[in-house]
Chain A
Amino acid sequence: MAEKVLMKGNEAIAEAAILAGCRHYFGYPITPQTEIAAYLAKRMPKIGGCFLQAESEIAAINMVYGVASAGKRVMTSSSSPGISLKGEGLSYLAGSDLPALVVNVQRGGPGLGGIQPSQSDYFQATRGGGHGDYRMIVLAPASAQEMADLTIKGFDLADNYRVTCMLLADGTMGQMMEPVELPAPVEPSVGKPWAVTGTEGKRRHNIINSLSLVPEELEQLNFARFERYAEIERKEPMWESFMAEDADIVVVAFGIAARVSKNAVVAARESGIKAGLIRPITLWPFPKQPLAEAAQKAKHFISVELSMGQMIEDVQLAIRCSRPVTLCNRVGGMIPTPEQVLESIRSANRR
């Protein structure tokens, strides 16, 4: 076992990207994710990698497009307002079927909002953010260790399916320091015969492009892309189930909200209420199956969020509105306390 190191969540992402073989990072500073850029600014030159502070978020995402086209692992990171700026680039990556890892360490919004943690970019991450019919795989870490592990997983998923993968964290996850056991370096496992790497006169040239003016062809491209998305939905949902098997009250929460909720669930169990937690680790594909199963026994669901109620819609869809779902939330940089979640559980149990 490797010796642990004490890392900020943001640093864990940065180091894990290097371990995943990422040697190209393009970004622009914004709190609360700037440590990712600061860390890679120090590390990349020492290992022959490329760190570049772009002139804007938009420039950075387009540099990502370039490196992804060349078949190399590449990452950018930002926080909420910066991710909005990257929206066009995310759509172009999808339209060109390019793998990349995009990190969003969310802060409160809308607009410039604040610098404190938030989960209010859930819709933006899981429903698009850019234009057109496309999906991104969205991963939601809940510890510094998962910041590292899911970064590596994200690069693998992106390569395997030729999609953009978004690591959706929040200001707390980015800033808090925890011991991390860094994974071993990994080698990208899939070849990229589509990449623009030079033909050496041996094959036809590859073209990376999101423009397709023949409607019949564009339709087929969309169909093919959605076949891949369907495969992702079948194979890749990830979640953690905590005391949910026999639960009357099922709390659904991800990231920092899940950590708070776990404490509330334990407290509820101690007071005799059968509560449980299902923590989605992939937000898209949303883990519908464990929620649908839980709904066969449970009488009530609670969605705990640092937003005004976004994931709650996916919870309702997953259980086909067969049980009531209530929202327990704080916003604007505030975090629900375990007591607040416990009160929600109690109130649901009294119904």
Chain B
Amino acid sequence: MTARRITLFGGHYGSGKTNIAVNYALHLKKTGFDTVVCDLDIVNPYFRTKDSKAELDEAGVRLIAPEFANSNVDLPALPQELYGAVQNRSLHAVLDVGGDDRGALALGRYAPYILEENDYDMLFVANFYRPLTPDAGSALSVMREIEAAGGIPFTGIVNNSNLAEETTPEAVLRTVGKADELSRLSGLDVCMTCAERILAEELKGRIPDLFPLDLQKKYYEIHQVRMNRK
């Protein structure tokens, strides 16, 4: 897809927004854009863009995150540089919007600038393996709630359906119909289907607009805990 100056990722709680935002920002940087990634999530103090700070620093992508993220001060405040990132037209900005309508509330204060400039994509991240969005209808309800709270209408759909480490190419393929149905219901295109790079290789040619994910931050990896052995 063609990169607009501002790309926003919103969606249901736990749909993978943060992960995709970080990966997409790294992708933009590689493409040659001066990129900043902004963490608007004031809801979830556990999974944060800041968990990927080292990788972002190394790639030269600036991160703007709530000052107290990842500290024990769980203060839901947004940093002032966010205005700058949203308004500085020499930058490409990737915005990680908090989960659900509650998380999207914080977007409201930036919405007027984003809408006025009108060079943005607001992408709805869907994981049809999440329990509260198992089908297109329920995903559409979440989509409408976020739009009402954040004040910016969605412009496209990102299918990020996965079962974490149990994801198979078939598991991704089984959700293509649901993503298409959501596309039909909402009138928006499915502009990306995400999969970990190793799966994306296997899916090549079977799904259009694949976006391979390289960086998967998981809470238990952050704490150096490997997967459960049976």
A interface with B by C-beta (< 8 Å): 4-8, 11, 15, 31-32, 35, 38-39, 42-43, 114-116, 142-143, 171-172, 175-179, 182, 256, 259-260, 262-263, 266, 333, 335, 337-338
Q: How many residue pairs bridge A and B at CB < 8 Å? A: 81
The 8 closest A-B pairs by CB, nearest first: A114-B72, A179-B163, A6-B129, A179-B166, A175-B46, A5-B131, A335-B223, A337-B224
Residues of A within 8 A of B219 (CB): 172, 175-176
Q: Is the CB of A31 within 8 A of B166?
A: no
A260–B226 CA distance with the chains assembled, in angstroms: 7
Known: A31-B45, A176-B219. 17 other contacts (CB 8 A): A4-B129, A4-B163, A6-B130, A7-B131, A35-B13, A116-B72, A172-B225, A176-B220, A177-B14, A179-B166, A259-B225, A262-B229, A263-B226, A333-B72, A335-B223, A337-B224, A337-B225
Residues of A within 8 A of B45 (CB): 31, 115
Contact of A142 among B163, B224, B228 (CB under 8 A): B228
Contact of B164 among A35, A172, A177, A259 (CB under 8 A): A177
Residues of A within 8 A of B218 (CB): 176-177
Task: Output the least CB separation between B166 and chain A (Å).
Answer: 5
A176–B162 CA distance with the chains assembled, in angstroms: 15
Contact of B46 among A5, A32, A39, A259 (CB under 8 A): A32
Residues of A within 8 A of B228 (CB): 142-143, 259, 262
A181–B74 CA distance with the chains assembled, in angstroms: 32
A182–B46 CA distance with the chains assembled, in angstroms: 24
Secondary structure of the B side of the interface?
loop
Q: Is the CB of A6 within 8 A of B163?
A: yes
Q: Is the CB of A6 within 8 A of B127?
A: yes
A337–B162 CA distance with the chains assembled, in angstroms: 27
Contact with A along B77-92 (1 / 0, CB 8 A): 0000000000000000
- For the complex, is B33 an interface residue (Cβ under 8 Å from A)? no
Q: Is the CB of B164 within 8 A of A178?
A: yes
Q: Is the CB of A263 within 8 A of B229?
A: yes
Contact with A along B121-138 (1 / 0, CB 8 A): 000000101111010000
A266–B226 CA distance with the chains assembled, in angstroms: 12
Q: Is the CB of A115 within 8 A of B225?
A: no
Q: Is the CB of A6 within 8 A of B225?
A: no
Q: A6-B163, A8-B14, A179-B163 are in contact. Are A266 and B131 (CB under 8 A)?
A: no
Chain B minimum-CB-distance residue to A5: B131
Chain B minimum-CB-distance residue to A108: B72
Contact of A5 among B74, B129, B229 (CB under 8 A): B129
Q: A262-B228, A266-B229 are in contact. Are A6 and B164 (CB under 8 A)?
A: yes
A285–B212 CA distance with the chains assembled, in angstroms: 48
Task: Output the least CB separation between A109 and chain B (Å).
Answer: 12
Residues of A within 8 A of B165 (CB): 179
A335–B127 CA distance with the chains assembled, in angstroms: 29
- For the complex, is B47 an interface residue (Cβ under 8 Å from A)? yes
Contact with A along B163-174 (1 / 0, CB 8 A): 111100000000
Residues of B within 8 A of A43 (CB): 132
Q: Is the CB of A4 within 8 A of B166?
A: yes
Interface set, chain B 5-35, CB cutoff 8 A to A: 13-14
Task: Output the least CB separation between B162 and chain A (Å).
Answer: 7
Task: Output the least CB separation between A134 and chain B (Å).
Answer: 33
A146–B164 CA distance with the chains assembled, in angstroms: 17
Residues of A within 8 A of B14 (CB): 6, 8, 11, 177
Task: Output the least CB separation between B31 and chain A (Å).
Answer: 30
- Residue of A8, A114, A177, A337 with highest tally of chain B CB at under 10 A: A177
Residues of A within 8 A of B129 (CB): 4-6, 179
Contact with A along B60-85 (1 / 0, CB 8 A): 00000000000010100000000000
A262–B230 CA distance with the chains assembled, in angstroms: 9
Q: A172-B219, A172-B220, A176-B220 are in contact. Are A39 and B132 (CB under 8 A)?
A: yes
Q: Is the CB of A42 within 8 A of B132?
A: yes
Chain B minimum-CB-distance residue to A145: B228
Residues of B within 8 A of A38 (CB): 13
Task: Output the least CB separation between B13 and chain A (Å).
Answer: 8
A172–B219 CA distance with the chains assembled, in angstroms: 7
A64–B143 CA distance with the chains assembled, in angstroms: 34
Residues of A within 8 A of B130 (CB): 5-7
Residues of A within 8 A of B166 (CB): 4, 179
A338–B219 CA distance with the chains assembled, in angstroms: 16
Q: A5-B130, A179-B166 are in contact. Are A338 and B226 (CB under 8 A)?
A: yes
Q: Is the CB of B225 within 8 A of A175?
A: no
Chain A minimum-CB-distance residue to B220: A176
Q: A5-B131, A42-B132 are in contact. Are A260 and B164 (CB under 8 A)?
A: no
Q: A5-B129, A6-B163, A114-B72 are in contact. Are A175 and B47 (CB under 8 A)?
A: yes
A259–B223 CA distance with the chains assembled, in angstroms: 12
A-B contact pairs, 21 of them (CB 8 A): A4-B163, A5-B130, A6-B127, A6-B163, A6-B164, A7-B131, A11-B131, A15-B131, A31-B74, A35-B13, A38-B13, A43-B132, A115-B46, A172-B223, A175-B219, A176-B219, A179-B164, A256-B225, A260-B225, A263-B229, A338-B225
